[in-house]
Every structure is written in C-alpha cells, then in structure tokens.
Amino acid sequence: MCKPDDAQSPVVSSSRGITTRTIVYALSSFVLGAWAFIKVNEISSPAFEPILGACTEYDAKEFTQNTDYHEYEPLLGLGAFNVLVCLITQFLLELRNTYPAGILTWGGVIVVSFPATLLSVSAAGRKGGRGPVRYPTILGLLYQLFGVSVMFPLVFNPSYMLGGPQFGVPVTKSRVIGGTALALPGVILTYLVFTVPTDNYLWTCSAGILGGPIIALSGLFLFTDKSSTLEAIPQNITSSNNIIQRSYSLLAIVGFIFWYSLVYIGYQSYGFALDSLWRDIWTEAGPSVAFMTIDTGVLYIGILIFLAYQCEKKALKAAVLTPFVGPATAVCLILKELEQEAATALLSVDKKKVV
C-alpha cells in the first residue's frame, strides 16, 4: 500500500486542497490529451473532411444516392448525431477493410477502455466528487466525438485529480453493474463489425451503434442513482467493495480473453516480425488505423498517469504486468487493489472512531 506522501491517501478527503503533485499530474495528462487532439486531426483531417462534407450536405437517402460511400442508419444518430453515425460508419469500414491492422488497433482501444469505463461510472456516483468527473454520459459523448485518447487525459484525469472522489467511498450495486455492462457491448459489436458482410444491414447497424451516441447515452439510466447519498458506514463500504471487486475481476477475465485473441490474430499475420506490424499500424497506416493506434496508446498512457497519481508503484506494477496479461487485466487488477486498500483504510478509520 502506498504511503500518504506517495499517493492520494485513501483516508484523506477529496477536499484536501490542490498540491504541487496534483498540478503536475493534471497538467501532464492535459498536455498528453492536447497532443493527441493535434495529432489525430493532423492525421485524419485530409481524409475525413470530404466524408464529413458529404455527411453534412446530404440526408441519409441522398447520401447513398449521390456518393460512393457506405450507407448509414440515421435512426442510430437520434437526429442530433446523424453526422457522427455517418462518419463513423465510413471510419469503421476502412478499419474492416484493412486487415489485420484495423481489428488490432480498434480492438486495442476496446480492451484498454474496459477498466476506464467502470472507473468513470463508479467515480461519477461517489460522494465528494465535483466537476466533469460527475458526468460520465457527457464524457462518453465527447469520447465518441473527439476520441477517447483526447478526452480521457484532457478532461477526465484533470477533473478527477482536481475534484474527484476517494476510492473506497460506497456506491450502489446498480451503478457498479451498470458501469460493467456499459463496458461489454463493445466486444459484441466489434465482433459483428469485423465478421458480418459489410453489405448486410446488421453490419450497418452494428457500426452505427458501436461508434454512435447510443452506448454513451445508455448511461442516462443511472441518472436517478442514489450513490452520492450513501453514507460511508461499514455495511455500505463492504457491500460496495465486494461488488466492485467482482466487477473488475469479470472485466479482467474478458479483457484477458479479448487481448489474447488480438495477439493470436497478430501472430497469425506477422509472427515475430514486429517491424511489419509497426509499419501497418503506424508508419504506413491509413488515417483510420493511425487514428486508432494513437487512441489505444494514449488511452493506455492516460490510465497509467491516473494510476501513478494514486500511487507510482501501482502504475509501475500495471506496466510490468501488461505484456503478460494485457492492458485491461493489468489495470483492472491494480484498480482492485486500490479499491480494497481504500475500503480497508476507511473501515479502520471507522473502527478508531468507535474506540
């Protein structure tokens, strides 16, 4: 367990004040997100601007009739996000047609996002939090619009560091289950997008849901959740910690299987020729693949920065574990440790008060 001077102490209130350490970590993460924003726009803008123009100019029926792009399902855009669904459908089509680099890079960000999803949903409900960290649905929409590699380090990390709640503070069972459930549709939809024939309506719908607003907006069902009213009493702390431990364990297992499925695909195509892999996902990659390479790498680094803010030793442990169990499993295991240590610390404080 980290010492209080090494980390954000689990027994210190979130209103403890802003330290130099907090500013350094928040600023570092912000700069990483800003760099990702500049880089992904530099890479993608020339290729995506014509698509964006067509998506803006035509409605769905006219789009199919007047362009050579793939049709999209406007119902999945819910009116306000039709252009996003149109654009992401073309984006995912390029990834699908760029095998195996497309599935490797897209799958990579899906895997890395597992722990990030449960982390953000649980943090949003905890008592003591303030700022953007309290609004995971809005953050989810920003992830879809600008890329998770941009908004997680640019907004979520600084928000959590400057006004986030403590680990260990209790949340309801429904919030934890909801956060876990929101992390899993990406696996099923990714499978469909990369296996179903692209001229099938199922493919069009899968692409529109996977990259559109529906999954992010699904988090609105937690709007009436009462987590923020829970008192940090032993019964609530223990119950909350138990379900969080099980949820991170489930995501760790799913993440492990998904990660090694990607490793298997990569090995089938490249063997140990890592230079060929790097060429296909970065140096000679198309805009969609390069975009996703940045998304995967920066999101992973952003999560490590988050862990390092909590405890540098924990971040180092996650980095060491990653080559063996994959990024999702490594991060889930560390988040489990942080939750357990924080819950134990809160329970010990309560015992001291009783004594």
Alpha-carbon torsion 283, 287, 292, 297, what sign?
Answer: positive
- Kindly state the percentage of the chain with pLDDT values over 70: 94
User: What is the per-residue pLDDT for 288?
Assistant: 94
Helix axes 173-183, 234-270, angle to 10 degrees: 10
Contact 105, 293 (CB under 8 A): yes
Q: By CB neighbour count within 10 A (0-12 exposed, 13-18 middle, 19+ buried), where does 97 fall?
A: exposed
Compute the radius of gyration of the chain from its Cα atoms.
Answer: 21
17 conformational bin, left if phi > 0, alpha if psi -120 to 50, beta if neither:
left
pTM of the predicted structure, to 2 decimals: 0.93
Per residue, the 3-state secondary structure of 74-94, as one string, reads HHHHCCCCHHHHHHHHHHHHH
**Cα(296)–Cα(333) distance, integer angstroms:** 19
Query: Got the DSSP string for 123-150?
Result: HHHSTT--SGGG-HHHHHHHHHHH-HHH
7 pLDDT higher than 90: no
The structural domains of the chain, with segments of one domain joined by +, span 20-354
Which amino acid is present at 214?
I
Sequence-distant (6+) residues with CB within 8 A of 101 are 280, 281, 285, 289
Give the pLDDT mean for 114-128: 94
What does the block give as tokens for 143?
């992830």
Q: List, for residues 314-355, the tens digit of each pLDDT value.
A: 999 999 999 999 999 999 999 999 999 999 999 987 555 544
Q: List, for residues 261-311, the tens digit of each pLDDT value.
A: 999 999 999 999 999 999 999 999 999 999 999 999 999 999 999 999 999
What does the block give as tokens for 135?
């609004």
130 pLDDT higher than 60: yes
Q: List, for residues 44-87, the tens digit of each pLDDT value.
A: 888 899 999 999 999 998 998 999 999 999 999 999 999 999 99
User: What is the per-residue pLDDT for 1?
Assistant: 56
15 pLDDT higher than 60: no
Give the pLDDT mean for 184-201: 96
User: What is the per-residue pLDDT for 164?
Assistant: 84
What does the block give as tokens for 291?
């975009």
Contact 176, 182 (CB under 8 A): no
105 pLDDT higher than 80: yes
Q: How far is CA 87 from CA 44, 48, 99, in A?
A: 12, 8, 20
User: What is the per-residue pLDDT for 349?
Assistant: 76
Q: List, for residues 194-247, the tens digit of each pLDDT value.
A: 999 999 999 999 999 999 999 999 989 998 999 999 999 999 999 999 999 999
